[in-house]
Amino acid sequence: MELLRQAPSRNPKEVLTFALLVLLGAVTLLTTLGVVLSLLGDVVEFFRRVPLTEFLFAPEWTPLFAEPRYGIAPLIAGTLLVTAIALTVAIPLGLALAIYISELAPHRVRARVMGILELFEGIPTVVLGYFALLTVTPFLQKFIPGLQIFNPLSAGLVMGFAIIPYVSNVAADAMQSVPRAIREAAYALGARPYEVALRVVFPAAISGIIAAIILATSRAIGETMIVAIAAGQRPTLTLDPRETIATMTSFIVQAATGDQPAGSTASLALFAVGATLFLMTLGLNILAQYVVERYRERYE
Amino acid sequence: MSEPLLSKTQGGDPWKARIDRVFARALVLPLFLALALLSWLLLDTLYRSFSVQVVRSDVGLSQTFPLGTAWQEALKAALLQEGYTEEEAEAMLKDPKELRALLNQNRVELMWNTHEGPLRYVVTGSYDERVLDLPLLQGLRRWEELKAGLGEGERLVLNPWLDQTFLTRFPSRNPLIAGIGVAVVGTVWVLTLALLIAIPVGVGTAILLEEYLREGRLNRILEVNLRNLAGVPSIVYGLLGLAFFVREMGLGPTVLAAALTLALLGIPVITVTAREALRAVPESQRQAAFALGATRRQVVFRVVLPAALPGVVTGVILSAARLIGEAAPLLLVGAAAYVPFYPSGPLSEYTVIPVQIYLWVSQPQPEFARVAAAGILVMLLVLSGLYLAALYLRNRFRREW
């Protein structure tokens, strides 16, 4: 904008306002710094006591036992298991909704659908965890023998519904930015609406759709209350969705609500797990941004 | 995209037309699934918050009184039965401190249905024991049978767990008298302080990005940083709060530490919504103000910000709704403690509604699920209030430029 390029004012009031705003803006930068620093100190101390190879390759996670083992593999396996179940629900349902919002819904219906999704996004996750544990699990136990009270299956299913809005909003945005001319060209060639949606718009928006899925994955990995309540707090290296497991987030909750003294290795483990979680989600978010920028179809 | 092009295609292969219809219907299915799940959740929570109980009181007060007696009378009669003299009982009821203690230990409330008839006052003691806790329908079906089988000191009641005193009662290890009062006050404290911090920072950052630095390196850095912060799981903010506010700054598990943590969580959300609201103000408004000789500060604070205010406020309300439901980060900064008193200031201990619900859900006794259901209803009511307020503001002050 030309207007924004005018010479900086020397009026003290103007300068002061600008300085104040920069100061406020700096708080967000300090937050990032704070996250990194707060994790770093305790993580360094943790790895001074526990070798990195133990952390990465030991098959058990039992920091509260008399002979503690610090292998993060069971926690990561649990996290990935729940995430996979959630994505199995969220990807098809979320993408279907995205196509509906972007391609088929009439104007007024679209606003209403978005409103419902917003409402869905607004349900506190502690409520969803309660629902998964006390309603969905007993319901599933009627059909699935051997399903534990705490299990990743119902936690994952409920979480899948919770992350539908993340998939559908981002994906619908991507589809809506595909220019109308391309759709019209397809219709002019005699394509049906489903063909236009699936074979023209969908491929054209694929970078945004992949980004939506990556972002939803990152959400699912960081989701805490649903798994802490419904998936259990017993780290198990298993892929059986009926077994009680623990995820990285549920371990953090468990350790934080327990009473280990500050500075003990068990309490440092909290930060090591938190740092792993932070790096995984940050990596996924950066990957999503990269995918969007690298593979975007550009239209004139 | 504006209206879809659907209606324009006609004729052609009838099979394709059929596929099209199935396709259109299949796409709406997820929405109905989600709505069905939502209704299931609500109905189930509502149903769980009622139960038919047989309660035995061995020690403490246990009375029911007909409607028309003031509840103080009910409490007094119960005290008399307990062995207190008339004067002692009067004095206890007059002293506000004593009264509060009494009301915390004994729940006096209107119950819809008891074995002595509908709508009576019931005084429940803190040592009351549940003998039987039945789901609503099952309990009503067996009502007569249960009534006939009542033993010494036992009462049969239909218990609506969410009642007027649930909102003011304190947490307890006895599900019969556990209440959400402390958590409600804690949420009000934490949320107010958090918003006091997060609103200026969030809106200020939005103004900086939208009105002062639309391009350039600082803008790029802040943008990328904000986008990454928005993607950080909320529990990581809890770790930050634990390491920095609770331990480093020595705040301990207090309201202030929680408010700071929650504020950091809310800043990116508020920034994003405030930026959208600022962006919706058309460029012509700014240019008109500049043409009249206004400085940048005057343009921003007298023209753009007032025009964007409804949008900003709506965004803040929605962010507040998001923050109210956050349990994970606060579990790390001390909300999981058992706090049997109202927080009195920024440096007192606290708990909040979602954390209280989490604590109830993780209790082994099955009745705590009912207490949790009542707590969830309270939280959902508060949230729907906030959403309605946001919706109202959005529609009331919507402007077409």
Radius of gyration of chain A (CA): 24
> What is the architecture of the domain spanning B182-396?
Orthogonal Bundle (1.10)
Burial class (CB in 10 A: 0-12, 13-18, 19+), A85: buried
Q: What is the pLDDT of residue A91?
A: 96
Q: What is the pLDDT of residue A240?
A: 83
- Confidence bin at B128 (pLDDT 50/70/90): low
Bigger pLDDT: A213 vs B122? A213
* pLDDT of B315 strictly over 80: yes
- Confidence bin at B289 (pLDDT 50/70/90): very high
Mean pLDDT, residues B183-207 taken together = 94
What is the share, in percent, of chain B residues with pLDDT greater than 70?
84
CB B382, CB B357: distance < 8 Å: no
Interface list for A 166-225 with B (CB within 8 A): 176, 180, 183-184, 187, 190-197, 215, 218, 221-225
Residue B370's identity, in one-letter code, is: R
Nearest CA in chain B to A2: B287
Q: Do B30 and A93 touch (CB under 8 A)?
A: yes
> What is the architecture of the domain spanning A73-295?
Orthogonal Bundle (1.10)
Report the C-alpha gap between A150 and B225 in whole angstroms: 37
CB B305, CB B172: distance < 8 Å: no
How far lies A66's CA from each of A63, A145, A266, B321, B371, in Å?
8, 34, 11, 43, 36
Bigger pLDDT: A135 vs A237? A135
**Minimal C-alpha gap between B108 and chain A (Å):** 28
| Domain extents in chain B | 50-160, 182-396
* pLDDT of A181 strictly over 80: yes
Two structure tokens written together for B229: 């912060």
Interface confidence, given as ipTM, is: 0.90
Report the C-alpha gap between B192 and A32 in whole angstroms: 23
Residue B138's identity, in one-letter code, is: Q
Q: What is the pLDDT of residue B352?
A: 93
Among candidate residues B97, B100, B105, B78, the one with its CA nearest the CA of residue B89: B78
A119 touches chain B (CB under 8 A): yes
B contacts of A286 (beta carbons < 8 Å)? 228
User: What's the mean pLDDT when you consider all of chain A?
Assistant: 88
Q: What is the pLDDT of residue B148?
A: 82
Two structure tokens written together for B200: 């200026």
Quote the Cα angle for B16-B17-B23, to 5°. Answer: 85
**Minimal C-alpha gap between A281 and chain B (Å):** 7
Torsion of CA A214, A220, A223, A227, to 10 degrees: -170
DSSP bridge pairs for B109 = B122
Report the C-alpha gap between A190 and A200 in whole angstroms: 13
- Confidence bin at B121 (pLDDT 50/70/90): low
Report the C-alpha gap between B103 and A187 in whole angstroms: 72
Q: Do A122 and B383 touch (CB under 8 A)?
A: yes
Q: What is the pLDDT of residues A244-272, one digit of tens each?
A: 889 999 999 988 877 666 677 878 888 99
A129 touches chain B (CB under 8 A): yes
B contacts of A224 (beta carbons < 8 Å)? 233-235, 327-328
Query: CA end-to-end span of chain A, whole Å?
Result: 21
Of A126, A180, A192, which has the smallest distance from its Cβ to B358's Cβ? A126
Of B30, B296, B355, which has the smallest distance from its Cβ to A9's Cβ? B296
- Confidence bin at B80 (pLDDT 50/70/90): confident
Q: What is the pLDDT of residues A48-70, one digit of tens each?
A: 888 888 888 888 888 877 788 88
Q: What is the pLDDT of residue B1?
A: 43
Most B-contacting residue of A21, A44, A45, A178 (CB-CB within 10 A), to test interface: A21
Q: What is the pLDDT of residue B16?
A: 81
Report the C-alpha gap between A41 and A224 in whole angstroms: 23
**Minimal C-alpha gap between A18 and chain B (Å):** 8
Of B17, B30, B218, which has the smallest distance from its Cβ to A97's Cβ? B30
Q: Do A35 and B240 touch (CB under 8 A)?
A: yes
* pLDDT of B111 strictly over 80: no
* pLDDT of A1 strictly over 50: no
What is the share, in percent, of chain A residues with pLDDT greater than 70?
94
Cβ-Cβ contacts under 8 Å between A and B: the total is 277
Q: Do B297 and A27 touch (CB under 8 A)?
A: no
DSSP bridge pairs for B160 = B50
Of B205, B247, B268, which has the smallest distance from its Cβ to A262's Cβ? B247
Most B-contacting residue of A20, A33, A35 (CB-CB within 10 A), to test interface: A35
How far lies B60's CA from each of A136, B55, B168, in Å?
39, 13, 21
- Confidence bin at B360 (pLDDT 50/70/90): very high
Bigger pLDDT: B258 vs A242? B258
